[in-house]
Amino acid sequence: MDMQQLVSEFLSSEHGAQATQALTDQGFSTEDSQQMLSTAAETAHAHAEEQNEGLLGDHPGKSFFAAFAAGLVRGDGFLKSMEEGGEGILTGRIAESIAARMGLDTGTASTVAAAATPYVVSFLREKLA
DSSP string, 37-74: HHHHHHHHHHHHHHGGGT---S-HHHHHHHHHHHHHHH
Give the pLDDT confidence score for residue 74 in this predicted structure: 57
Give the pLDDT confidence score for residue 32 in this predicted structure: 96
pLDDT one digit per residue (tens) for the chain, 129 residues: 688 898 999 999 999 999 999 999 999 999 999 999 999 999 987 876 665 443 344 444 444 445 445 554 556 554 554 455 557 778 888 999 999 999 999 999 999 999 998 898 888 878 866
Q: Which residues contact 23 (CB under 8 A, 6 or more apart)?
A: 32, 33, 36, 37, 112, 115, 116
Q: Which residues contact 53 (CB under 8 A, 6 or more apart)?
A: none
Other beta carbons within 10 Å of 125: 10
What's the predicted TM-score (pTM) here?
0.73
d(CA 102, CA 17): 20
Give the pLDDT confidence score for residue 88 in this predicted structure: 72
Find, among 20, 47, 35, the residue nearest to 121 by Cα.
47
Give the pLDDT confidence score for residue 83 in this predicted structure: 56
Query: Measuring CA to CA, how many Å separate 30 from each of 19, 20, 23, 35, 57?
Result: 11, 7, 8, 9, 27
Give the pLDDT confidence score for residue 62 in this predicted structure: 45
> Do residues 76 and 62 touch, judged by C-beta distance below 8 A?
no
